[in-house]
Amino acid sequence: MTSTPARLLIIGPQGSGKGTQGVRIAESLGIPAVSTGDVFRANVKEGTELGQQVKAIIDAGDLVPDELTSAIVRDRLEQDDAANGFLLDGYPRNLGQVGDLDVFLEGRGEPLTAVIELSVPRAESIARLSLRAAQQGRADDNEESIAKRLSIYESETAPILDVYRGRGIVDEIDGVGSLDEVYARIVSALSARGITA
């Protein structure tokens, strides 16, 4: 039996551990973890045409528009290491980006096979981010700014999850527990879909 291709999206509020879990899942499946933040930084560092556009926008204090974000993600997914699957983290983050990603993946006949939703209560996210702020001395991680970022996540991401739930590809994972416990829950949900290392 061949395993289902791992074309994954991981979604969770700030402080849910999605970055850590995403990298771990991707490594275990032998696919790249594609974080929009990392891809932006790599393009800026390499001075690519897309990177120069991103840098100008970020330097001006603006958000990178959907079209440019989608173009950068498409470029990343066309690289050889993503031919057998990928794990997206931080994209798509709104309905416009869902549409862009759908058009791109459907054009390749390669739809997403699973969406991992790390579910963490708001109070837990705030506690984790406050702890991280204290440990790393991050002044931007105060309770007010954390609450604001969580509200944006809730208002922008809920509609995305509704789209993917309608397709029957969302696995809601309890994100509370040790890293190993949460990882084991994700592995179990993916293997139930035939996605195995």
Q: Where are the domains of the chain?
A: 6-190
pLDDT score of 1: 41
Question: What average pLDDT does this structure show over 145-173?
Answer: 91
Sign of CA dihedral 164, 165, 168, 170: positive
Triad 26, 164, 151: Cα angle to 5°: 85
Which residue of the set 41, 55, 122, 132 is catalytic? Answer: 132
Say which residue, 146 or 139, is predicted with more confidence: 146
pLDDT score of 10: 97
Which amino acid, one-letter code, is at 146?
A: I
Identify whether 55 is a catalytic site residue.
Answer: no
Identify whether 193 is a catalytic site residue.
Answer: no
Tell me which residue of 152, 153, 190 sits closest to 170, measured CA to CA.
190
Place 137 in a pLDDT band, splitting at 50, 70 and 90.
Answer: confident
Question: What average pLDDT does this structure show over 35-64?
Answer: 88
Average pLDDT, the chain: 91
Taking only Cα atoms into account, the Rg of the chain, rounded to an integer number of angstroms, comes to 17
Alpha helices in 85-178 (DSSP H): 95-107, 122-136, 143-166
Which residue of the set 18, 76, 128, 185 is catalytic? Answer: 18
Phi, psi values for residue 109, rounded to 5°: 65, 30
Instruction: Please give the structure tokens belonging to residue 40.
Output: 């932006």
pLDDT score of 117: 96
CATH topology of domain 6-190: Rossmann fold (3.40.50)
Which residue of the set 45, 108, 138, 165 is catalytic? Answer: 138
Identify whether 108 is a catalytic site residue.
Answer: no
Alpha helices in the chain (DSSP H): 18-29, 36-46, 49-59, 66-77, 95-107, 122-136, 143-166, 179-192
% of the chain surpassing 90 pLDDT = 62
Place 46 in a pLDDT band, splitting at 50, 70 and 90.
Answer: very high
Place 140 in a pLDDT band, splitting at 50, 70 and 90.
Answer: low
Residues 10 and 116: their CA atoms lie apart, in Å, by 5
Which amino acid, one-letter code, is at 132?
A: R
Does the pLDDT value for residue 179 go beyond 70?
A: yes
Residues 24 and 69: their CA atoms lie apart, in Å, by 24
Identify whether 138 is a catalytic site residue.
Answer: yes
Instruction: Please give the structure tokens belonging to residue 126.
Output: 């705030």
Q: CB of 105 within 8 A of CB of 112?
A: yes
Other CB atoms within 10 Å distance of the CB of residue 155: 10
Phi, psi values for residue 95, rounded to 5°: -65, -30
Question: What average pLDDT does this structure show over 4-11?
Answer: 94
